[in-house]
Chains A and B, each alone.
Chain A
Amino acid sequence: MNRLLPFIGFMLLVGLFGFGIWWNTRHDPNAIPTPLLNKPAPAFNLPKLYEPTQTVSKADLLGQPYLLNVFASWCIECGVEHPVLTAAAPSLGVKLVGYNYKDAPADAKAWLAAHGSPYALLIADESGQTAIDFGVYGAPESFLVDAKGVIRFKHIGPITPDVLATKVKPAIAAMLKETP
Chain B
Amino acid sequence: MTPELGQLALILALLLALAQGVLPLIGAWRGNHALMAVARPAAAGQAVFVAFAFGILVWAFLHFDFSVQYVADNSNLELPWYYRIAAVWGAHEGSLLLWIFILNVWTVALAAFSYKLPEVFASRVLAVMGLIAVGFLAFIVFTSDPFGRLLPMPGDGADLNPVLQDPGMAFHPPVLYTGYVGFSVAFAFAIAGLLGGELEQAWVRWARPWTNVAWAFLTLGIVAGSWWAYAELGWGGWWFWDPVENASFMPWLVGAALIHAQAVTEKRGSLRAWTILLSIFAFSLSLLGTFLVRSGVLTSVHAFASDPRRGVFILIFLTIVVGGSLLLYALRAPKVAGGKAFQLLSRETVLLIGNLMFAVAAAMVLLGTLFPLIGDALNLGRISVGPPYFGFLFPLLMLPVVLLMPFGPFLRWGKGESPLLKQILLRVGVAAAACAIVAAFFVDGKLKAIVGVAALVWLGVGVLLYAYKRWRDVPRGRRYPGEMAGMLLAHLGVGVFVAGVLLTESLSVTRDVRMAPGETQHISGYDFRFDGVHRTTGPNWKADQGVITVTRDDKQIAVMHPQKRTYPRGQVQTESAVDAGVFRDLYVALGEPMDAGNIEGAWALRLYYKPFVRWIWGGGLLMMLGGFVCAADKRFRLKRTADATASLDLQPQETRA
Contact = CB atoms under 8 A, between A and B. Distances in A.
A25 to B, nearest CB: 5
Contacts of A63: none
Given A18-B315, A21-B315, A6 B308 contact: no
Interface stretch (A9-17, A91-99, A146-154, A157-165): A9-17
Interface string A122-163: 000000000000000000000000000000000000000000
B377 A16 contact: yes
A20 B376 contact: yes
Nearest to B291: A17
Contacts of A27: 376
Contacts, number: 68
A44 interface: no
A4 B330 contact: yes
A24 B296 contact: yes
B295 interface: yes
B35 interface: no
A3 B333 contact: yes
Interface residues of B, number: 33
A23 B370 CA distance: 14
Interface string B129-155: 000000000000000000000000000
Given A21-B315, A33-B381, A11 B323 contact: yes
B299 interface: yes
Contacts of A180: none
Interface string B319-331: 1001100110111
Contacts of A33: 381-382
B318 interface: yes
Given A6-B277, A24-B306, A24-B311, A17 B323 contact: no
A27 B37 CA distance: 50
Interface in B267-306: 273, 277, 280-281, 284, 291, 295-299, 306
B312 interface: yes
A50 interface: no
Contacts of B273: 3
B374 interface: yes
A54 B281 CA distance: 68
A17 B330 contact: no
B323 A21 contact: no
B26 interface: no
B15 interface: no
B370 A16 contact: yes
Interface string B184-225: 000000000000000000000000000000000000000000
Interface of B: 273, 277, 280-281, 284, 291, 295-299, 306, 308, 311-312, 315, 318-319, 322-323, 326-327, 329-331, 333, 370, 373-374, 376-377, 381-382
A63 B330 CA distance: 68
Contacts of A11: 323
Q: Is the interface of B mostly helix, strand, loop or mixed?
A: helix
Contacts of A4: 330
A25 B297 CA distance: 10
Contact of B373 (A7, A10, A20): A20
A7 to B, nearest CB: 4
A14 B323 contact: yes
Interface in A1-60: 3-4, 6-7, 10-11, 14, 16-21, 23-25, 27, 29-30, 33
B622 to A, nearest CB: 33
Contact of A6 (B298, B299, B319, B326): B326
A26 to B, nearest CB: 10
A11 B320 CA distance: 11
A159 B230 CA distance: 40
Contact of A21 (B277, B297, B370, B374): B297
A6 B194 CA distance: 16
A140 B361 CA distance: 44
Nearest to B335: A3
B193 to A, nearest CB: 15
A17 B323 CA distance: 14
B319 A14 contact: yes
Nearest to B303: A29
Nearest to B288: A13
A29 B330 contact: no
A29 B306 contact: yes
16 contacts: A3-B329, A3-B333, A7-B327, A7-B330, A10-B326, A14-B318, A16-B370, A16-B374, A19-B376, A20-B297, A20-B373, A20-B377, A21-B295, A21-B308, A24-B297, A27-B376
A154 to B, nearest CB: 16
Contacts of A16: 370, 373-374, 377
A7 B326 contact: yes
Nearest to A31: B382
Contacts of B330: 3-4, 6-7
A20 B296 CA distance: 9
A17 B377 CA distance: 10
B283 to A, nearest CB: 13
* Pairs A-B, 7 closest by C-beta atoms: A20-B297, A7-B326, A3-B330, A21-B311, A4-B330, A20-B373, A6-B326
B377 A19 contact: yes
Contact of A29 (B299, B329, B370): B299
Contact of A20 (B281, B295, B327): B295
A11 B322 CA distance: 9
